[in-house]
Structure 1
Amino acid sequence: MCGRYAVTTDPARLAAEIDARNEVSEHDVAEKFSTGNYNVAPTTTVMTVVDRHSREPESDVARRIRAMRWGLVPPWTKASSKDELGKGPLLFNARAESLAEKPAFRSSFKSKRALVPMDGWYEWKPGPNGPNGKPTKVPYFMSPEDGTRLFMGALWAAWRPAQAREAGDDSAWVSSTTIITTDSVGALTDVHHRMPLIMPFEHWDAWLDPDAPADPALLAPPAVELVDRITIREVPPLVNRVANNGPELLDPV
């Protein structure tokens, strides 16, 4: 699974790196992306990469950087306002094996696929028993050994309250995303049996294409050769609290 990760770039720099249009508002940049986030948690506003047409008919598809809520909100979600979204299920992960069947994901899987950039992700293993007699949780951080960025397969959706839809209010839209997970591969199986679906660069065009269904082969677990280039290191338990957020979370133990 993937419930926490780190990302230290900003939308403008990311857009320049991958030749995309930065569509993240200045407000979101100032409030959420002005500094690196070393402890990204569900419900946080995160950066995503999508390929979309412009509003003009027959427009070309362009690659775009957009800000979205981490935790998918299906279009049919019944909530009277954005504030009520936290009362529903927190769909921050989606299993690759069931995307086409699950009602919450199958519509997005058809034409709303995305990428979530990250420096690496966290996972926990059971540790020695604590003072209460229960096993502790020991955090690990997985990241590329060469310091490059990872891009994970994801889905996204657009939702707005029923009253806003009836009134034609386009200011009430909420875009949200979920990170796809698959079976762990190679040494990662020693940390957890699930991992986020790493999407190699050569698969981006096919995965992000909004006008064509995704090839099921794109959902296969990553090649062992790719996973072998990911380092696994134990990190301090600081990451266990969302309030902690700084480069010291990545210090090796």
Structure 2
Amino acid sequence: MCGRYAVSTDPARLAVEIDARNEVPDGLIGPDYNVAPTETVMAVVRRHEHGRPDDDPALRVRAMRWGLVPPWTTELGAGPLLVNARAETVLNKPAFARSARGKRALIPMDGWYEWRAGPPGPGGKPVKVPYYMSPADGSRLFMAGLWSAWRPPAARAAGDDTAWVSSATIITTAAVGALAGIHDRMPLVMPVEFWDAWLDPDAPADPALLHPPARELVDAIEIREVSPLVNRVSNNGPRLLDPVE
């Protein structure tokens, strides 16, 4: 799974890096070394201009709530927290199928955290040991995701077009290589050569893009044990990425 991650850039800089339009309000999102569910995160999408379905869709950086909200939800936060979607079932599962058809995204990150059972603690239960996974060369990762646009039923009934909430989920797949020794799931890395096909708003998702990433891609990801400071969402900063001696 992927329930916590780090990203050290801001939307404006990311937009320049990938030649996208930044649609995130200034100051809303900044570097965050302990991103947690329900927080506002960056998502990269490719969309047409509003009301112009025949134009060339453009790459855009948008702000979204982490935890996809299905369209039938009656109250924000009332349903399950859909921070992850399994690649094996995402095309057919009701909560994700509509988004998989035309609302696919990329979730940028420097790396993600995962926990593995360690030695028994004072109470006899295994202590959960945090690990951080990131590219060894310091490059950025872009994970496959889905997004949804939702508004409260009352706003929908009143025709209020200002109450939309955009939300996103990160797709996970079976862990590959050494990552399987930390957890049996991992976020689905989407290489840049597949971005056009994955983000195409006018075509359904290619099932081949939902396969686990190539072994050579995963072998370039470094795994290191980090401080249990990351266990508390209130802790933040680059120190969370420091390896445990």
Would the TM-score normalized by the shorter structure come out above 0.5? yes
Q: Does 1:61 align with 2:57?
A: yes
Matches of residues 1-253 of structure 1 in structure 2 within 5 Å?
1-26=1-26, 30-33=27-30, 36-57=31-52, 58-79=54-75, 85-253=76-244
Structure 1 residues not aligned, in runs of 5+: 80-84
Supply the distance in 2 between the matched residues of 1:151 and 1:41 (Cα, whole angstroms).
17
RMSD: 0.8
Q: How many residues align?
A: 243
Question: Which residue identity is paired with 1:46?
Answer: V
- Report the TM-score when normalising by structure 1: 0.94
Unmatched segments (≥5 aa) in structure 2: none
Deviation at 1:87, TM superposition (A): 2.5
TM-score (norm. length: structure 2): 0.98
Give, in angstroms, the shift of residue 89 of structure 1: 0.3
User: How far, CA to CA, are the matches of 1:238 and 1:136 in structure 2?
Assistant: 14
Q: What is the distance in 2 between the residues matched to 1:9 and 1:169?
A: 34
Q: Is the 8 A contact 2:11 2:29 kept in 1?
A: no
Output the CA distance in 2 between the equivalents of 1:204 and 1:60: 15
**1:97 partner SS:** coil
Q: For 2:29 and 2:50, how far apart are their aligned partners in 1?
A: 27
Q: Note the C-alpha offset of 1:56.
A: 3.1
- CA deviation after TM superposition for structure 1 residue 207, in Å: 0.1
What percent of counterpart residues are identical?
A: 72
